Structure formats: C-alpha cells, structure tokens
A and B are shown apart, each in its own frame.
Chain A
Amino acid sequence: MISKEVYRILESIVGPEYVSDDPVICEGYRSGPGGYENGLGYERVMTLVPGCVIMPRTTEEVQRIVKVCYRRDIPYVPYSTGFYGPRSHPHVEDALLIDLKRMNDFVLDEKHFYVEVGPGMVYSPIQEECMNHGAYVVIGGGGAQASAIANLIGDGWSPLSHRIGLPHRRILGTEVVMPDGELLRLGSLATDDDPFWGESPGPDLRGLLRGYTGLRGCLGIVTRMAIKTLPFQPERLEPTGVSPDTALALPQNRVKWINFTVPSKEAQVKAMREIGHAEIAGAVTKVPLFWRAIAKAECKEEFWDIWGQETEESIANFFIVRVLLIGFTSEEQMAYDEKVLMDIMEPLGGIARRTKPSDESWIKNADSAGMWLMCGGYVSLDYVIETLTQSIEHGPTYADLKKKYTPPLMPDYGDPGWFQSFELGHQGYSEFLIYWDPDDDTDPVDRFYVDTSKMNIKNRFYTSLLGPHQPLYLTGPKYGPNYHEFLLKVKDEFDPKWMSHPPVPLAHDVFVERAPWMHAMKDWESPDDLPK
C-alpha cells in the first residue's frame, strides 16, 4: 500500500484529480484478460493491478514523482497507452503506474522537418498533421493508436521503413527522466532548447535508450522527443467511407499501391532487393496471407469461411509483392518509378493485379486491432532484422516449429509470416505472429515463445526480441556473448534500486522460474538470486 503520507505528496504534485488508489480506478489498468500477450502465462503470473495510478502533465512533475518513488522505495511503471500488453503493466505488488496520456503536447516544425511530442501523443494525429505540411512519419505496425515515443524507444517500423529506414535515426533531441529522477537531455537538447539534432557531444545514449528493441520501461521515462519527419507529396489522402468500411482514397497520380504475384519465393526476394537497389518505392512488403482474409471478412465467422478454403499447398504456392509508389517530387517521378518497377517485375514473372486505389492500413491507420478478429489471442512473437536472404531461411524454420504447437496455435497452413525490405533492400525484416483461442490450454503457447529463442540460437538467427522479452540468461550468453552482463550493468548503474519497472529486464527469467509448466524447458544457467 502506498502510505497516506506519500499519497498526499503525490496529490500535491499533480493535483488530487490526477492520482487515485481507488481499487476501481486501479482495476481499469489491469493488463488482461484480453489483448496483446494477455491470457498467456506471462500475464497471469507476472502482472498485477497497480496500487496507485498517477497522471502527470509535465516533465517536472514526472521528475518529482520519480524522486518520491526512489526515496521511498516505491516501484513504478511508465505507461503511455498500455497497448503493449503485460509488459506495460506492473509486475510487483503496490507499484505506482505513471500514466503519461496527459503529456500529449505536439509541435510541428515544418521548416526543419521534425515534430516534437510528449508520450501521450499517438501516431495518427501526428501523421495527419505531417501530411498537411508535406511530410510523413512511419507509423509502427503495432498501430496508429500507439504512443509515438513508446513505439520509437522499442520498435518503430512498418512497410514504410523500406524507404524511411530504421527508427533510431529518427529520434532527435530527447528528454529522459532517469530512474532516480535526474533529467537527461539527449542530442542538441543537451546544450540548449533546440531538439533538432539527435547526435550530441559525447556518447550517443540513444543506443541505451532503445537498445535493439527497447528496454520496456526499465530505464526511466521519456517525457519529450523530437522525431524526424521526411518529405512526402502535397496531395491530400482523403478519408472515405463509413466505419467499418473506411479507407484513405489515394491520389493515384501521386500515391499508389500495386500488388504483384510472382512465381516463387526467390522471385519475391529478388524483386524486393532490386526495387531497393533501384531506390524506388515507399514500401515493399509481403504480409501474412491470413491478413487478406481479415481484410475481406465482415466478421470472425466469415474469416474462418475464407481461411478454411486454404491448404498448405495453396499457401506454399502463393507469392505476393506489395509495392507502394509515391511521387515524392512530382507526378513524373512516380511515373518513372512505375516504369522502373515494371522493368524489374516483368523478367521475374511478376503480374500486376488489380489493386484498390486506397490505403486501409500503413500510411495513416496501421491497424493492428483487427488482428484479434479471428482468434482473440495474439502476440507478435519474433522479429528479425537482418538481410533479405535470411528471411527466406528464418520463415520456413519458424513455420516448422510452429507446426509442433498447432493446436493450440491457429491453423495457418505453414504461412511463413511477414517479410519485407528495410532501408532500400539493404536489410530484410521478418516477423512472426501467432494466434490462439484464449479459452484453450495456452501453456504450450508459453513454451513455444521460449522455444523460438532456442530455435534462433540454434540456427544463428539474430532475433530482435532479446532481454526484455525472453529469459535474459538464455539469450544473453548466446548473443554477445555477454549481452546479459552488459545490460544488467547498465541497469544497475542507472537504477541501482531497481525501481523502474522491476523485474524487467529479468522478468521473463522470473516467469520461467515461477511457472511450473515452463520448468522442463529450462536447460540454461541462471543465478539463484533472481528476484522471486
């Protein structure tokens, strides 16, 4: 319990209407039972309802809150929108959940191509404002409803990353309240109030901030960030339709999706690489085939009607490349890009299919919520950013392992997941998503999660989901080989009392210890003094 005295201090920081330890208000912040990774063992074993919730408005208030926590040994968890499932929710008793939604300031600097936001600002408004000023950002595939800051300190990619590239480069001046309440200003914010530069004198701490895929709230709280925007094209993408049938109508002379079918996986990858090398297109991607069924279906029952028609053979023989053309500088530029694209696709046997002149997902509305339509249980289990070639190997290996766990996983007929080009083909991205019925026995899903780590280690695939998502003592010694030691030293240095979202980054290690159904899998060493 947070004492009355501390509660009063918290009230004096934010005002009484923005702090509550009422059990009903706290229950409203429960992670599950539904949603990302919820319903699985990790949520059931590792998450708790917060003991208290507070909603600061300014960086200074965050600092003061965190200082109180540090002085009084109160564990806390930063929470921007809370969409990211159990990992965004308290793992220990009586934690203070710091809900950052009121910190939703937004400034757009048209001339210098950046926006400056607080953690409460989500993506779709940012994109709308940017597009109205001839710019755009990548909305992470996790959704237009995600906090841009929370997304950029952990993830930050979508098909648009083909051109725009990896997220860390787009993080400019940033303000972080460190675990003990000290204020850290990164980039040009370190020297004055101009957030224009991401780099600053001295070590670039953005690496620590997001690591490879983020430290998920265990290294303090980002309260402000300038995000680089990129030049777009001037014409309006007009929202059309009535919900649920809405889309952005694309000005076809300047923005256009084209779907190609190609004869083989090799052709798919070759197309992606060549499109990248030709430096054309705004996005080049292949998404899981069942997403098409989701898009077509009016309801979950209809999804199963459509998807139930597929077979391993039909899936294995269907290859699609989805290309987004953008006339960044002019209509002529897009017309030229289209010719180059056709020159690439034709010898590869690519056939341009009829494609809707609209965008339902990716440009402004990255729509991850629809992914729960057919099953109700979902997690994006593994993503790998490497070369395009490795995504061809990773996919089938993963699909094989998945078979072992189906059911309870959804029958996906061996669909090898989502892969695409990043950074104009210099990198490939593959991501694997799993779906299940939360009413089934989900213990195998928990085991599959860790088994994918073992598969990645065995096959030397470079997974993105290291420390905070997998047992650190399983992955750390294999990637590095001292990745875990390095990460824990950083954690100890900045957060010696482990108040910022404990026990992350050891949360998955703790989960494996606590969940009896995971014990048989544990064939790696970990210290005896893991937080219990």
Chain B
Amino acid sequence: MAEELNVRYYKPRDEFKLDVTDIENFVYDMSRCIKCKGCTWVEHTYMPGAKFMTRCPSATIYEFDAYGAYGKMRIGHAMAEGLLDWNEKALEVMYACTLCGACDVGCKRNLDLEIGLTLESLRVKAVQDGVGPMPAHKKLAANIEKKHNFYGAAHKDRKGWLTEETQPARKADIVYFVGCNASYKNQEIARSTAKIIQAAGDDFMLLPNEWCCGNTLFSVGLYDEAKALAERNVEAMRKTGARTLLTSCAEGYRMWKVDYPKLLDIATEDLGFEVIHLVEYAGDRIANGALKTTRPFETRMTYHDSCSLSRLSEPWTPYEGKRGWMGCVEPRLKRRRGKNGVYFPPRDILKGIPGVNLVEMPRMRENAFCCGAGRGTKEAFPDFARRAANHRLEEVREIGAETLVAACPWCKSHFSEVTGENGDAIQVLDIAEVICASLDASA
C-alpha cells in the first residue's frame, strides 16, 4: 500500500473502532460525506423515473437537506467538533429517521463510509449528552424495564398467542423468538409461524421466559439498557442448547443477528447459535420438499422489503484498527454493504404459490422505501411515520396490487393502520400468514 508506492507520504495513524458509544470513531466518516445524495436517491441504475425517486423517508418527508444523511453528517460533525449544540430541531433531525439503512447501502455503493453506524452513534451521543431519547421513547423504555415488553402489557400474557394446535416442544433444535408485536398484537403471525415449522416436520421451543429483544432501546440510543437485554437474552438462548434461533420479526432478526453481537463486541458467528428468519427457514424447507405451498392464492401481490431483514441484515464482525494515508485502514475491513441482505427467499416463496401474481414496486430490495414505523420513529413522530407509509402505499396503488406482504409484524401493524385510516382496499398480510395459508392441507 502507501509504503510500497514510489511516492512516499508521511501520515499519522489514527486508531478507531466500530464502536457506536464513541462518536469520535465516526468523525472521519462524517467529514468525508460528499453531498452526492446517493443516500437519498434510488440508486441511479434502478431509478424508476420521475416518480418514486427517493429512498430516504426522512429527507423525503422533511425535505430540508438537514434530514438527509448528508445533513445529518454535517450536523453530527459540527456537534462532534463542539461547534453546534443540541436543540429541538437537532433531536427531530436525528430521531425522525427510521434508521432504515437506505443511506448506508446507497453511500456504500460508491464509498467506504459508515453512515448507518454514525447515525446510531449520534443517538447514543444524544443520550450521553442528556438530551435523548425522545419523551415517547422514555415511556417505552419504562414499559420494557417493568413489563419486559414494548407495550407495557402484562408479561404473563406474552404466550397468549399459543393455541392447542401450536404448542411448543419442551426441547427442540429451533427456538422461536416471537417478539413483542407477534406476542401481543399480530398473534396470527406467531401462530402461522408455529404452524409452518410444524408442517415442515420440525419442533420448536420458546425461550423459557421471553423478554423484549430491545430493538427500540438500541435504536434510540439507550445503549446500556439494550446491552443488558442482549446479555440476558443471549445467555438464555445459549442455555437452551438449541442450535437455531428463528424469528418472524425483521427487527428482532436484526437485533439477534447484528446488534446483539455489536452490543456484546463479538462476531455473529461467535453467538454460538444461528439466527434465521422465517423466510430463510421456509425457503429452505420448500426447496427440500418438506413444505409444500400448493394451495392457490389468487391475487396481485407485492412484497415490501422490511429494512431489518434486507439491507440491514448482514452479519456483524467487530473491528478495531488504524486509519492512515488516504483514509486506508489496517487491518482490512470487510464493509457491510447490504449486498447479502435477505432479498430473494421471500420473493421465491411468494412466486411459488399458485395464483400469486407477484409484481414489484418501482423501489425494491436495497432501494425500498421504509414503511416509516421502525426503530422508535412511529412512537415519537407518528405524523412522519404516517406520511412515510402513505408514500410507500402510493407505490402499491401505482402498480395496482391488491395484497401487500411484508416479513415483519411492525410493517404489517403500521401499513394496516394507515390503510385502515385511509379506507384503502389494500389487503396487508405478513408473509407467515401467506405461507401458512398456502400449505397443502392434505400434507
């Protein structure tokens, strides 16, 4: 590298770590943002035309540059340098953002900047500086602390979704981590998931005492609280001796697969078990013939990529190194660019169901537009979340889809709520329900 080139440069070396608890680790990334707005536009190769041009909900709804990643990077940089203080606007800029990762993959199409981690780190900084999270988040944190779930519902009701048909085994190789939403709100997703596993001839067990995954805590910058949950949950999972943790929730999937390792400073592969989403499991079981999705479902359907299952889901590896000449790092860093997100299994599953006419929205996969609810946004900025969902629903209407399918209960909740408010005739389903309904009843 630099040293071997025949033009020599002196360059001091800065140590850094991909550790979101210290914003200093990301000053380099913030300082190198070039305002190309690749984080906001749909990637130009896939640009669908003069409609649906953007993929950043924050920049699309609020429009001022401050809300795009380029604005957030400039504001964050000024804060890290001590040139700018938090105010109400700054909190809105940082929190009216779904941490959807569109900016991160957009930026990493061309550059090596850690935009997603920087955004997470800025929220941790808000908490460290005593201004974050938002009041609505504090309420949720209290719910989670007291009742171990997002909603503040009774902990004893967590297994209320279980039916006679869907009883877990006492011991199994698969632990189904249900998550707060499917435990309390969209219980049909939990039931469908259980049925799918059973239909494939497998058993599943539950964690002996399942608690919230802590997604919202982590996402709003409550790092220590999230870390405590990560420690507790990973420990509980390890104790089961099961080899696989399966989620039907995209947010939970990302927590277990990416953010728990991040919080625990270990690699995903060192968790001691594998984390999979239902679509990966079902895709595999359909391929090996254990599941047969033969019952027809006549509909014009579209699939919404839940961010945490798609572009945010690549495994985590801790990194510590030095940055030197031209910003090159040593040792080498394998950047998470979103290329290996879970994009194809859900599509393959849906396409395989007779009668399903799967049509893509103009923005798909890594270019998808977030539903607007994720990662603490909806609770603190409900109007923003609603507008973002409506923006996405316009796309659903544009392609004339009757059924909108997502692979995350939070997306389903949010889309259902907004379509309900609008009186839209769009059917919103989770992929677990669709798979379950298509299972060959005779099998």
Q: List B residues 369-392 near A (Cβ within 8 Å).
A: none
Among B32, B45, B68, B112, which residue has its beta carbon within 8 angstroms of that of A34? Answer: B32
CA A304 to CA B6, docked complex, whole Å: 12
Q: How far is the CA of A28 from the CA of B33 in the complex (A)?
A: 12
State the CA gap A367–B111 with chains docked (Å): 11
- Shortest CB-to-CB span from A18 to chain B, Å, is 7
**A123-131, A150-158, A186-194 - the one binding chain B:** A123-131
Minimum C-beta distance from B415 to chain A (A): 24
Q: Which residues of B contact A407 (CB under 8 A)?
A: 7, 9
A55 CB contacts on chain B under 8 angstroms: 63-64
1/0 per residue A73-89: CB within 8 Å of B? 00000000111010000
Docked-complex contact B343 and A242, CB < 8 angstroms: yes
Q: Is the Cβ of A24 less than 8 Å from the Cβ of B84?
A: yes
**CB within 8 Å of B: which of A75-116?**
81-83, 85, 99, 101-102, 104, 106
Contact with A along B1-12 (1 / 0, CB 8 A): 110111101010
Given contacts A301-B1, A369-B36, contact A244 B47 (CB under 8 A): no
Q: Is B156 an interface residue (CB 8 A)?
A: no
Give chain B's interface residues, CB within 8 Å of chain A.
1-2, 4-7, 9, 11, 31-38, 41, 43-50, 53, 63-68, 70-75, 77-78, 84, 87, 89-90, 93, 105-106, 108-112, 325-330, 332-333, 335, 337-339, 341, 343, 365-367
Instruction: Judge whether B31 and A145 touch: CB under 8 Å.
Output: no
| Contact A304 B37, beta carbon cutoff 8 Å | no
A28 close to B35 (CB less than 8 A): no
Q: How far is the CB of A72 from chain B (nearest CB, A)?
A: 23
Bound together, the chains give a CA A101 to CA B64 distance in angstroms of: 9
Whether the Cβ atoms of B7 and A364 lie closer than 8 Å is no
**Cα A53 to Cα B341 with chains together (Å):** 38
Given the contacts A28-B93, A369-B34, A411 and B87 also touching, CB distance less than 8 Å: no
Which A residues from 252 to 274 make CB contacts under 8 A with B? none
Please determine whether B34 and A34 come into contact, CB atoms closer than 8 angstroms. yes
In the A-B complex, list the 5 residue pairs whose CB atoms are closest, starting with the nearest.
A28-B66, A28-B71, A35-B34, A411-B7, A124-B44
Do B50 and A121 touch across chains, with their CB atoms under 8 A apart?
A: yes
Q: Does A33 contact B (CB under 8 A)?
A: yes
Q: A376, B63: Cβ atoms under 8 Å?
A: no
Q: Which of A224-232, A382-390, A420-428, A434-442 contacts B (4 or more CB under 8 A)?
A: A434-442
Q: Please tell me which one of the listed residues B47, B63, B71, B108 contacts residue A101 in the complex, with CB atoms under 8 A apart.
A: B63
B343–A24 touching, CB < 8 Å: no
For the complex, give the distance between the alpha carbons of A145 and B56 in Å: 15
User: Which chain A residues lie closer than 8 Å to B326 at the CB level?
Assistant: 300, 304, 374-376, 410, 437
- Check B41–A35 contact: CB distance below 8 A: no
Measured CB to CB, the nearest residue on chain B to A142 is: B36
One of B4, B7, B44, B64 near A25 (C-beta < 8 A): B64
Contacts of B108 in A (CB 8 A): 243-244
The answer to whether A124 and B47 have CB atoms under 8 Å apart is yes
Question: 1/0 per residue A21-38: CB within 8 Å of B?
Answer: 011110111100111101
**Residues from chain A with Cβ under 8 Å of B332 in the complex:** 299, 301
**Residue on A nearest B14 in the bound complex, by CB:** A439
CB pair B64 A27 closer than 8 Å:
no
How many Å lie between the Cα of A205 and that of B32 in the bound state?
Answer: 39
A438 and B46 alpha carbons, distance in the complex (Å): 32
Q: Which residues of A contact B365 (CB under 8 A)?
A: 242
Shortest A43–chain B CB gap in Å is: 12
A468 to B215, CA, bound (A): 50
Verify B327–A376 contact, CB threshold 8 A.
yes
Choose among A33, A243, A304 the residue that contacts B2 (Cβ–Cβ < 8 A). Answer: A304
Closest CB in chain B relative to A442 CB, distance in Å? 13
Interface string of A444-473 (1 = CB under 8 A from B): 000000000000000000000000000000
Contact A28 B65 (CB under 8 A): yes
Instruction: Check: A430 CB closer than 8 A to any chain B CB.
Output: no
Chain A residues lying within 8 Å of B366, measured Cβ to Cβ, are 242-243
Q: Are A308 and B67 in contact (CB under 8 A)?
A: no
Q: Is the CB of A145 within 8 A of B64?
A: no
Residue pair A369, B43 in contact (C-beta under 8 Å): no
Query: Are B89 and A99 closer than 8 Å at their CB atoms?
Result: no
Q: Is the CB of A373 within 8 A of B110?
A: yes
Which chain B residues border A104 with CB–CB below 8 Å? 50
Is A16 on the interface with B (CB-CB < 8 A)?
no
A431 to chain B, nearest CB (A): 18
Q: Please indicate the chain B residues that have their CB under 8 angstroms from the CB of A127 in the complex.
A: 47
Asked whether A239 and B87 contact (CB < 8 A) given A99-B65, A376-B327, the answer is no
- Name A23's contact: one of B2, B84, B325 (CB within 8 Å): B84
Residues of B within 8 A of A373 (CB): 110-112
Which residue of chain B has the shortest Cβ distance to A89 in the bound complex? B35
A439 near B49 with CB under 8 A, answer no
**B50 A126 Cβ-Cβ under 8 A:** yes
The distance from the CB of A160 to the nearest CB of chain B, in whole angstroms, is 15
Instruction: Verify B47–A128 contact, CB threshold 8 A.
Output: yes
Q: Which residues of B contact A29 (CB under 8 A)?
A: 65-66, 71, 74
Cβ contact within 8 Å between B31 and A35: no
Q: Are A246 and B87 CB-contacts (below 8 A) given A28-B74, A101-B63, A369-B110?
A: no
- Assess A144 versus B44: contact at CB under 8 Å? Given A24-B66, A27-B78: yes
**Cα distance, A33 to B81, chains bound together (Å):** 12
B411 to chain A, nearest CB (A): 21
Contact B50 A129 (CB under 8 A): yes
Are the C-beta atoms of A364 and B45 separated by less than 8 Å?
yes
Chain A residues whose C-beta falls within 8 Å of the C-beta of B5 in the assembled complex: 304, 308, 411
Instruction: Please give the distance in Å from B138's CB to the nearest CB on chain A.
Output: 22
Q: Is B110 a contact of A376 with CB atoms below 8 Å? A: no
Q: Is A392 an interface residue (CB 8 A)?
A: no
Q: Which of B37, B47, B64 contacts A364 (CB 8 A)?
A: B47
B337–A244 CB distance below 8 A: yes
How far, in angstroms, from A242 to B93 measured CA to CA in the complex? 29
- Judged by a CB distance under 8 angstroms, whether A143 is at the interface is yes
Which among A28, A248, A437 is the interface contact of B325 at CB below 8 angstroms?
A437
Report Cα–Cα, A85/B49, bound state, in Å. Answer: 26
Q: Are A83 and B64 in contact (CB under 8 A)?
A: no
